[in-house]
Structure 1
Amino acid sequence: MDEKREFQGATVAASGRSTSAGSRIDGLGAYRPVTVVGNEESATTAGVSADWISKRMGVEERRRATVTETVVTMAVAAGKEALADCGATADDVDVVLLATCSMPSPMPNGAASVAAAIGCTASAGFDLNAACSGFCHGLAVADALVRAGTARSVLVIGSERMTDWVAPEDRNTGPIFADGAAAAFVVPSSVPTIFPVAWGSDGAQSDLIKIPGETGRMEMAGPKVFRWTTSELAAVMQVACERAGLDPADLRAFVPHQANLRIIDALRQSMDTSDLVTATDVIKAGNTSAASVPLALHALRRRGDVSPGDPVLLLGFGAGLSYAAQVVLCP
């Protein structure tokens, strides 16, 4: 690994491992499938009206992957953009971490294929399945790996083909779930810019979102998930801010999992701060599970709604029921 570039903030411990006081997101990348599906088409398939989808879910359109846009190929595109965004190359990547719950089969893992396609010939690669909170879990793992010196850099990618796992005619899931990928390249920093995660799970309610083996199609108890999300996660968000040493009023932006617009609005209101930029990528992208948080962050930065150094609260939640929140400084 000596041939790799030296990242800012890294020091060499007595053991010879590179350690760091903190980590940072150095680059962001995203991939959105070419095919756009509007509400009229989705509504016809689900047996509802386009207005029903818009009012109940807040979605106007979503992206649907073609046969060539797989979990792996979308992840590769997003990962390459994240590296290019900060001038890094495949040789700079120590670990590829793929957050996904929609691989078509359990083996081989997707991350190894992604690493090979990007050209990361010497990197570790593994998948992480925490469903819609997967990217935030992956970011916490990447931060820990870098700070401990286990890895000098981690490419964290959320990539999903959720349309493979929902029935288009199911009005609870068909109109909301979509496909896409986004990535963050995590490297050492002389000061922490990815702050401690607040995470957990409520496995006693894991049946609220599931894919039974006999059907291979997602089932979701939407009203119960809504009540759990809006009643339990405000406290998690507060803990994440406290662990960053910030008050919610100090935040520039809030990037929650893009579950649906009603949930996003309810969580935003619980923050009780008026000047908070809130990501609403779900309107044009639908719910892309583990890809939704990084896709939404990428969109905010691309539009100029956030600037480098801005404190942003990320929040992932979903099947499990798993959740993870952390404050990061925008790259």
Structure 2
Amino acid sequence: MFVDQAGTHKMFDLVAIGNPVYDIIKTPFVESLGRVLSGCSVNAAITAKKLGMKKVALVGCIGEDFERRFMREMESRNIQLMIVKRSKETTGFKLKYLDFSGNRELEVLGLSEGISRGDIPEGVFNTKAVVVGPVIGEVEVDVPAAFKSRGVTVFLDPQGYLREISEGVIQHCSNPMALEACCESHVVKPNMLEAKLLSGFDEPIKAAISIHERTGAMVAVTLAEKGSVIVYGRRAIIVPAYPTHPVDPTGAGDVYLGAFAYYLHKGLGAEEAASYASAIASIKVENIAGHFDISLDEVARRALWIRSRVKIKRLR
């Protein structure tokens, strides 16, 4: 999956692109003490780094209000930070979960500036893989296209292309730019709502097949407590979730994507990589935001449980 010539030196193993966010999180179980670090690109990068990926970088825009704090948090994790723009404010949301199934309201607390191809330093393209993870459409479609044209494996979370702001609150919406970004990616990871917006289907496998056929990408649809579905070629891989007691589902899909990218990078097949990604996501939901430790032994134990229950459906 990783498009890289043997013996070719790359500056980075993984680059994550998308604005960091500082959120206020309230679930039926816990509430954050003030604003906590999150964001698709951030959570994916941190996860890959925790698992052992050596050279990880993050590209985004941030406001002066959280810049120093963010720099400290990235430095402590040994993630190279490239702030391409400084904004008046940092992107952030007030997340209020309405039930135990992950349905939530997102009130906008701040928005940073956008990221286009011209904002990205040339050295950043010297990477084996990139995770493109906008939270509210801040990454232009020319960004994944530029990486793909250079032979970089592109992992996309399309969530930010399928959101708009209405009266200070995030709403989901269809957007042609989302499908265009998917076409510039090798792996696309929507949740079920996003998959429906992209495909028009509300059944996971049908939605994944539709997106795969229209884009050529491997499609991984995450389904919260129901696990995930991977469609690639003529196979649908049905991956269960590990049974657990969720405290905060915020960022679980981001963590899944970062782990999926890491294990594909290691050379695992989609079934194994998805089993590990699902295992790590199950650990994440037991903790608030992205602040959790990973025991590789526990990850392996849960992944083995999941892998033994994976089902393969042959597609016509």
Q: TM-score, normalised by structure 2?
A: 0.35
Q: Which protein is bigger by CA-based radius of gyration?
A: 1
Q: Which of 1 and 2 has higher RCO (CA within 8 Å, sep 6+)?
A: 1
